[in-house]
């Protein structure tokens, strides 16, 4: 099955990740479904914390670990984008 | 023979979970039940939840076994650990990192703790000499080194720290920790301290500011926020008030006075730092804003050495030479002068530059190269500095090298950038200077020189400040931006990226400079950069 191309909002979130964490990689090389932690981008909990502040600043969405829906927020760029979209103040 | 009970106050609450209070007896019942199922082996305790971690730790102690604390849950360090402890069993409450396990290694997965056993559980005295934990640090070759901890040593250290963990005399404090229990600092303060002196430790997520607020709101009061300089800086830059805190305790890296002062002002709580190491545990403390000098815990003595470092003697623990230059002031106070060695600390994890470089140079195709450590003291509100690597490896692309490092280096020390060069800028002595390396890896300055766009100042009675951050007013970023756009004469819609690096206070004079290629601006208050932004160059589009 062909992979879904990134949506504009996914590209925007990927850009936020690259710029916030000063990753040395072009946004276009980030796979939207690749894990953000571990083997994917290799991010750790400090990165998650920094990213949470940038997301709050940019989108007004506050991340918390114990959300009732238990979404694995940082699973991938795609899941993070979905989470932000679902929780953005209208 | 000296002995100390496993729990100091078994009838009292020991944990606060998001749902309820758990007493010492509850933990003892669970530990006895778990002990009956443990194989007669040391256990590698990978539990992330403090309650599960503590139950597993106590179960091992009851069996006369020791727990191995990994320091990190990453796959690379775990593989090292399994090689060092081939006879150990793993106890975990979460998925294991992707790391091949020897077929003979038992894995005990905890999904619930036994609630069976009414009334008082047996709370045996544990011999002071019993080794209850092995804690790992990275040695200078990159290979982990184990430090054995006795029950007597840990207990005496906790008893000596009781004042620090009693912010309100006569009240039992709740410790809200942002550090994991399997790291020495978190182990001593959020596991051993509650077991020995009867404070309450919280469980549940404690990563994001919203998590911390939830934990602090639950209490019970008074609460201690037990954290690191990194977390303090990020929580301050979040600009959201925290529920009441009676005391902030910080360790793992030096806390700068400006951040401590801002935390005390915003959170209305004194900020204390702990000085210690994995080898010695906590040995001294200070209130950062009140004193430069550190006060040794009772029972600890310090003996200066000719090389400027000092040897630390603590009862029940081997003496240890610290990696810092130390000036003794009185028999129980000293001043820290800085690091003597190439030890790098990021996020409470420690490694040596020589060890990291040995790993880098061991990668096939790497001819020369070095890690570059971040500047040690980030300013308040600035992101944590990360490692970079500069390497001579004509046949290996940078992503290859990063992938190899990911297998061998804990995530905290993974480089953000791998810069390939033709040769390292070694001086005539063959040495690498930090300045030459930084010049090599960092981008050249912008093509145009910065021009002054002017200054602005937000008066303390600006309408945007009302109710924005009571008690600690900070100019909202949107107000800063609207002033910048006004001075530069550009449309806000062209903003591409903005970073607020430091809070702007009412009354601060903010200077704005900008460049045209790329179209970017920098806001400064005095020497401090407070914001940086970039705009789209689409004026003609």
Residues B70, B160: one domain? yes
Do the beta carbons of residue B69 and residue B133 sit within 8 Å? Answer: yes
Q: What chain A residue is nearest to B382 in terms of C-alpha separation?
A: A50
User: How big, in percent rounded to 5, are the helix, strand and coil portions of chain B?
Assistant: 25, 30, 45
Are the CB atoms for B179 and B282 separated by under 8 Å? Answer: no
**Whether residue B224 has pLDDT greater than 90:** yes
Kindly state the average pLDDT of the residues B472-482. 80
* Full residue range of the structural domain in which residue B200 is found: 3-339
pLDDT bracket for residue B81 (50, 70, 90): confident
| Chain B residue with the nearest C-alpha to that of A44 | B411
Q: Is B293 inside a domain boundary?
A: yes
Question: For the residues B491-520, what does the mean pLDDT come to?
Answer: 80
Looking at the structure of chain B, the number of domains it has is 3
Rounded CA-CA distance B193/B103 in Å is 36
* Closest C-alpha to A32, from A2, A76, A75, A86: A76
Structure confidence at residue B445 (pLDDT): 44
A19: nearest CA partner in chain B:
B497
- Reply yes or no on whether the pLDDT at B98 is more than 80: no
Report the candidate in B363, B364, B366, B370 with the shortest Cα–Cα distance to residue B342: B370
Domain ranges of chain A: 8-20+33-87
- Measured between CA atoms, how close is A42 to chain B, in angstroms? 7
Q: Which of A34, A39, A66 to mutate to test the interface with B (most CBs of B within 10 A)?
A: A66
B266-319 residue pLDDT tens = 999 999 999 988 888 899 999 999 988 999 998 899 998 887 788 998 877 788
Residue that is last in its domain, among B441, B471, B493: B441
Contact B510, B483 (CB under 8 A): yes
Whole-number pLDDT of residue B151 = 96
The answer, for B84 touching chain A at a CB cutoff of 8 Å, is no
Q: Could you list the beta-strand ranges (E) of B458-516.
A: 495-500, 509-515
User: 10 Å Cβ neighbour count for B360?
Assistant: 25
Residues B319 and B404 in one domain: no
- Give the mean pLDDT of chain A: 79
3-state secondary structure of B314: coil
Contact indicator for B314, B153 with CB cutoff of 8 Å: yes
Query: Which own/partner pairs from B518-524 qualify as long-range (CB within 8 Å, at least 24 positions apart)?
Result: B518/B446, B518/B447, B519/B490, B519/B494, B520/B446, B521/B453, B521/B484, B521/B488, B522/B450, B523/B480, B523/B484
Do residue B376 and residue B252 come from a single domain?
Answer: no
Q: Does B230 touch chain A (CB under 8 A)?
A: yes
Q: Which of B316, B51, B2 is nearest to B157 (CA)?
A: B316
Q: What is the pLDDT of residue A2?
A: 46
The pLDDT value given to residue B415: 87
Bridge partner list, B13: B23
Assess if residue B540 is contained within a domain: no
Final residue of a domain: which of B309, B339, B369? Answer: B339
Q: Which residue has the higher pLDDT, B255 or B538?
A: B255
Q: Alpha-carbon distance B315 to A73, whole Å?
A: 46
Residue of chain B minimizing CA distance to A12: B496
Q: Do B411 and A19 touch (CB under 8 A)?
A: no
What is the ipTM metric for this complex? 0.78
Q: Residue A1: its pLDDT value, please?
A: 42
pLDDT at B62: 96
| pLDDT of amino acid B341 | 55
| Closest residue to A66, CB basis, from B75, B214, B417 | B214
CA distance A9 to chain B (A): 14
The token pair that represents B257 in the structure block:
């006075």
Dihedral sign for Cα atoms in the order B397, B403, B407, B412: positive
Q: Are residues B197 and B311 in the same domain?
A: yes
Would you place residue B194 in the very low, low, confident or very high pLDDT band (cuts 50, 70, 90)?
A: very high
Q: Is B188 found in the same domain as B137?
A: yes
Substitution target from B207, B208, B235 for chain A, most A beta carbons within 10 A:
B208
CB A53 within 8 A of CB B237: yes
Q: What is the C-alpha to C-alpha distance for residues B455 and B483, in angstroms, rounded to an integer?
A: 9
At residue B469 the predicted structure's pLDDT band, cuts being 50, 70 and 90, is: low
Number of neighbours of residue B444 by Cβ within 10 angstroms? 6
Please provide the average confidence, as pLDDT, over all residues in chain B: 84
Return the CATH fold of A8-20+33-87. Answer: 1.10.1200
B418 vs A contacts (CB less than 8 Å): 24
Q: Does residue A70 have a pLDDT over 50?
A: no
Q: B415 and B332: one domain?
A: no
CA atoms of B250 and B232, how far apart (whole Å)? 8
Max mean pLDDT among A66-80, B42-56, B336-350, B356-370 falls in B42-56
Does the beta-carbon distance from B412 to A63 stay under 8 Å? Answer: no
pLDDT by residue (tens digit) across B348-368?
666 777 778 878 888 888 888
Q: Which of A20, A23, A38 sits opposite B98 (nearest CB)?
A: A38
Give the pLDDT of residue B66: 96
Q: Count the neighbouring beta carbons within 10 Å of the beta carbon of residue B335.
A: 14
* Mean pLDDT for the stretch of residues B515-524: 82
Asked whether residue B515 is assigned to any structural domain, the reply reads yes
| One domain for residues B365 and B223 | no
Would the CB atoms of B347 and A44 count as touching at under 8 Å?
yes
Backbone angles phi, psi at B340, to 5 degrees: -95, -20
Residues 355-394 of B with CB under 8 A from A: 383-384, 386
CB contact under 8 A, B208 and A46: no
- Partner residue opposite B210 with nearest CB, options A44, A50, A62: A62
* Stretch (H or E) spanning A33: none
Contact A42 B210 (CB under 8 A): no
């Amino acid at each position: 099955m062909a992979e879904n191309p990134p949506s504009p909002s996914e590209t925007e979130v990927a850009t936020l990740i690259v710029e916030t964490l000063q990753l040395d990689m072009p946004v276009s090389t980030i796979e939207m479904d690749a894990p953000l932690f571990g083997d994917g981008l290799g991010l750790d909990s400090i990165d998650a914390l920094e990213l949470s502040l940038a997301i709050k600043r940019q989108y007004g969405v506050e991340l918390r670990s114990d959300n009732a829906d238990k979404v694995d927020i940082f699973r991938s760029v795609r899941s993070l984008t979905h989470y932000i979209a679902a929780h953005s103040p209208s | 023979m000296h002995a100390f009970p496993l729990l100091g106050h078994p009838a009292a609450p020991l944990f606060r979970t998001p749902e309820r209070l758990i007493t010492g007896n509850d933990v003892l019942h669970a530990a006895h039940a778990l002990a009956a199922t443990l194989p007669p082996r040391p256990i590698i305790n990978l539990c992330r939840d403090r309650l599960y971690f503590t139950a597993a730790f106590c179960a091992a102690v009851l069996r006369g076994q020791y727990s191995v604390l990994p320091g990190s849950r990453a796959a690379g360090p775990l593989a090292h650990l399994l090689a060092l402890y081939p006879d150990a069993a793993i106890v975990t409450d979460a998925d294991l990192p992707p790391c091949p396990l020897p077929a003979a290694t038992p894995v005990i997965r905890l999904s619930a703790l036994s609630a069976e056993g009414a009334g008082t559980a047996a709370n045996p005295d544990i011999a002071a000499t019993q080794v209850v934990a092995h804690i790992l640090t990275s040695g200078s070759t990159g290979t982990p080194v184990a430090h054995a901890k006795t029950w007597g040593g840990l207990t005496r250290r906790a008893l000596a720290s009781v004042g620090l963990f009693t912010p309100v005399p006569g009240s039992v404090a709740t410790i809200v920790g942002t550090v994991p229990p399997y790291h020495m600092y978190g182990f001593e303060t959020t596991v051993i301290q509650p077991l020995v002196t009867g404070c309450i430790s919280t469980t549940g997520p404690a990563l994001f500011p919203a998590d911390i607020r939830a934990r602090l709101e639950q209490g019970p009061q008074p609460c201690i926020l037990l954290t690191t300089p990194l977390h303090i800086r990020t929580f301050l830059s979040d600009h959201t008030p925290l529920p009441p805190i009676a005391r902030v305790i910080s360790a793992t890296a030096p806390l700068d006075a400006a951040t401590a002062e801002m935390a005390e002002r915003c959170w209305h709580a004194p900020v204390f730092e702990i000085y210690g190491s994995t080898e010695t545990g906590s040995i001294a403390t200070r209130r950062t804003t009140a004193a430069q000098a550190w006060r040794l815990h009772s029972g600890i003595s310090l003996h200066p050495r000719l090389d400027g470092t000092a040897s630390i003697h603590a009862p029940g623990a081997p003496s240890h030479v610290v990696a810092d230059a130390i000036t003794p002031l009185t028999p129980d106070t000293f001043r820290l002068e800085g690091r003597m060695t190439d030890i790098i600390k990021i996020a409470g994890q420690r490694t040596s530059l020589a060890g990291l470089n040995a790993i880098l140079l061991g990668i096939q195709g790497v001819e020369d190269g070095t890690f570059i450590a971040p500047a040690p003291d980030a300013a308040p509100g600035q992101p944590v500095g990360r490692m970079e690597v500069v390497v001579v490896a004509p046949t290996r692309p940078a992503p290859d090298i990063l992938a190899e490092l990911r297998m061998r280096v804990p995530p905290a020390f993974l480089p953000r950038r791998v810069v390939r060069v033709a040769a390292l800028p070694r001086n005539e002595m063959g040495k690498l200077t930090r300045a030459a390396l930084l010049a090599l890896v960092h981008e050249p300055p912008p093509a145009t020189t910065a021009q002054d766009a002017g200054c602005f100042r937000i008066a303390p009675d600006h309408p945007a400040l009302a109710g924005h951050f009571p008690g600690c007013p900070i100019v909202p970023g949107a107000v800063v931006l609207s002033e910048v756009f006004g001075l530069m004469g550009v449309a806000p819609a062209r903003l591409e990226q903005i970073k607020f690096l430091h809070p702007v206070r009412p009354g601060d004079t903010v200077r704005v400079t900008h460049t045209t290629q790329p179209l970017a601006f920098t806001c400064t208050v005095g020497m401090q950069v407070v914001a940086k932004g970039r705009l789209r160059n689409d004026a003609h589009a």
